[in-house]
Chains A and B, each alone.
Chain A
């Protein structure tokens, strides 16, 4: 970045007669460039504004080793990393009003390698929250997700009363807690995408069939369930998160259950790490860990071989954030015929799908600042490693990766939730 190999003759002013950039004709004086801008000040007030925020302190700790840059999923497809954010802010750039503010997916790969523990998982939500409070321009698509969540209890903007409609498609009974009127062993928190998104429905239906086959005593909240709100919190809407958490905790506490199982890693993170701070007190499991508990019973049911090369994409909020790498792999290995191949970036160094920290609702915005979507980079990697199936266990990912497989010309790559693969093998 600092030193180019080509020496450029110093000229005070340059001007190209004919120049088209990204389809825009900027010939002549429209592209006039003056010689390289001199940094004439270090206005560290903007850095102080960040580090004065609770959670923002550690941005000042960066000593520029740049370990984060190599593993930042955004930098791999763009020009953004925590080190660069620190330097720009030290140079006086106002992060509160910068597009950079919305690019971080809070995937935590930077913090994993950071010797100084510069914590973007705290910095970014803190600055975004302040930006939201100050009325700074929030990208419209994110703003819409915030509004939909506030209005409907889910970021997809679907009616709350239809939250359990997917159960009509399952073919096996799915009990709603309110109708059940008795304690259950497992309260299954389905989540917004499995409840509403067509591809999410597929995973939810698969889960319901698997739970039934295993004889799990479970119930769901149905219309009493609201979005967990964790990604909205990380995207800067802490108030919205607290409202949803309050409503969810109230709904949870109406019923007796021994443990909760969640479909998604973001919900898992919310209930395991964030809701307890607001008074929640229950045991939560991601479905992969829960099913591994039942592996002895599950294995004989997996009759139909799936003779395919399967690679697994570690969700950031299951792996790096919560240390679960093995349960999904144990499930995949239990399926007869499956050949599990690992991608170069896997487990602790798993590449981010781009959906975390609000990225799920910033697709067009992020696309404008990167050479390709993070999900597109990831499906290319899966294809490079010769996978037939990209297996996932986060409800954000199925639709993201399926779109990416199409847009990158990797249509033959199948994207499946582990639940769907298990269900397929069970159904024979």
Chain B
């Protein structure tokens, strides 16, 4: 007997959107989230405004959460994680346990420990985590200098409308972004482009110029990668309206000089070395597979690519398929994604999962029917 329940692992943007859509189709969805709250990285990492439409992240995510929660056929399991999986498409048996994640609150999880979900299909929406600039090497002295921060740190300050030089607590006069931190790097092992950092840096540059109008903002880059409308919605306004200064040439090192930081690199179009004082340096850290993505891939037996993201074997023509039939992937668990792609992928994964479970049920029904018919004349 095949199940029409669809298990969704991850309660971030992709998981919530897939759950809502499956619910709208009238099918049962179970969302398993290891943290004690829904909303994923935008909520957990205190995002300020979403890229690219500058909508308040918390407000937008709350709408997604409310839509999933309000749906009568969507069940949510907070502070829970998947511990084992058996069976195949149409009849997966997935065991849940109280999440070992420190973010799991005391009130969630306990009630569902040991629960087994019988699911016809699974959608993995376990997302990404920001590259840790202290991983492997002390890149740019992230853990050494208070005033070297990451995009995620900047988001938190921007959300509170209090962008300051962390060591002083006062508004900075000069801020720069260093692009491609942890991305496009063979030595680190992340050869891919993280896709969103150029846009997010530029978005944050605009927000800094809005919140601290006297602050000069620089972006040091290798290539500006502004896909589609990000060019005219973010990059051009940042440059033209908010006078963010884009300089081609990446910063190689940061040194301390007095109570300020000095960034060192080459201004490539002038062919000159540069040593420029800055109050705050924002590292545009890229995406890596989240811990959850890596764990769930192993538990479900999904192939991962060399960067440990979940492998999508058919690429562009079937972007939500995994190496296991009946298990689909949505969002940044499959590699760097912006929100537009994540949401579109969630819709596609929901559709594929729902279609599969229905197809399996119809063929089961036909199979039983045909047995019945052959038996009847006898």
Contact = CB atoms under 8 A, between A and B. Distances in A.
B239 A61 contact: yes
B301 interface: no
Contact of B275 (A38, A57, A60): A38
Interface stretch (A40-48, A104-112, A386-394): A40-48
Q: Which of A1, A2, A37, A87 has the most CB of B within 10 A?
A: A2
Nearest to B248: A64
Contacts of A38: 272-275
5 closest Cβ contacts across the A-B interface? A2-B271, A39-B274, A38-B273, A61-B240, A39-B272
A64 B275 contact: no
A300 B249 CA distance: 65
A61 B274 CA distance: 22
18 contacts: A1-B271, A38-B272, A38-B275, A39-B274, A39-B276, A40-B277, A41-B276, A42-B218, A44-B245, A57-B240, A60-B240, A60-B243, A61-B236, A63-B224, A63-B235, A87-B270, A90-B247, A116-B236
B246 interface: yes
Interface in B184-229: 216, 218, 224
Interface string B239-257: 1100101111000000000
A90 B245 contact: yes
Contacts of A5: none
B62 to A, nearest CB: 37
B269 interface: yes
A3 interface: yes
A36 interface: yes
Given A2-B269, A87-B269, A90-B245, A41 B240 contact: no
A330 to B, nearest CB: 41
A36 B274 CA distance: 11
B267 interface: yes
A51 interface: yes
A91 interface: yes
Contacts of A91: 267, 270
A8 to B, nearest CB: 12
Contacts of B216: 42, 44
Contacts of B269: 1-2, 64, 87
B84 interface: no
Nearest to B267: A39
Contact of A42 (B239, B245, B248, B273): B245
Q: Which of B236, B243, B270, B275 has the most CB of A within 10 A?
A: B270
B296 to A, nearest CB: 41
A273 to B, nearest CB: 25
Q: Which of B216, B245, B269, B275 has the most CB of A within 10 A?
A: B269
Interface SS of chain A: loop
A36 B245 contact: no
B305 interface: no
Contacts of A87: 269-270
A39 B224 contact: no
Interface string A180-224: 000000000000000000000000000000000000000000000
B268 interface: yes
B240 A42 contact: no
Bin the interface of chain A by size: 20 to 34
B276 A44 contact: no
Contacts of B247: 42, 90
Contacts of B236: 61, 116
Contacts of B224: 63
A39 B270 CA distance: 9
Interface residues of B, number: 23
A162 B271 CA distance: 55
Contact of B274 (A1, A40, A57, A58): A40
A48 B274 CA distance: 21
Interface in B259-288: 267-277
Interface in A228-278: none
A2 B218 CA distance: 21
Contacts of A57: 240
B268 A41 contact: no
Contacts of A2: 268-271
A41 B262 CA distance: 10
Given A47-B245, A63-B235, A64-B269, 15 more contacts: A3-B271, A38-B274, A39-B274, A40-B274, A40-B275, A41-B276, A42-B276, A44-B216, A44-B243, A51-B243, A57-B240, A58-B240, A63-B239, A87-B270, A91-B270
Interface in A37-88: 37-42, 44, 47-48, 51, 57-58, 60-61, 63-64, 87
A58 B243 CA distance: 11
A122 to B, nearest CB: 15
Interface in B340-377: none
Interface in B304-319: none
Given A2-B271, A87-B270, A91-B267, A48 B243 contact: yes
A44 B268 CA distance: 18
Nearest to A91: B270
Contacts of A63: 224, 235, 239, 246
Given A60-B240, A64-B248, A40 B276 contact: yes
Contacts of B268: 2
Given A48-B243, A51-B243, A36 B272 contact: yes
Contacts of A47: 243, 245
Contacts of A39: 267, 270, 272-276
A279 to B, nearest CB: 33
Nearest to B262: A40
A418 to B, nearest CB: 42
A336 B276 CA distance: 67
A245 B319 CA distance: 66
B162 to A, nearest CB: 24
A58 B275 CA distance: 27
A36 B272 CA distance: 7
Contacts of A48: 243
A58 B248 CA distance: 19
B242 to A, nearest CB: 10
Contacts of B235: 63
A37 B224 CA distance: 27
A61 B239 CA distance: 6
A59 to B, nearest CB: 10
A68 B224 CA distance: 20
Contact of B239 (A1, A36, A60): A60
Contacts of A1: 269, 271
A412 to B, nearest CB: 43
A1 to B, nearest CB: 6
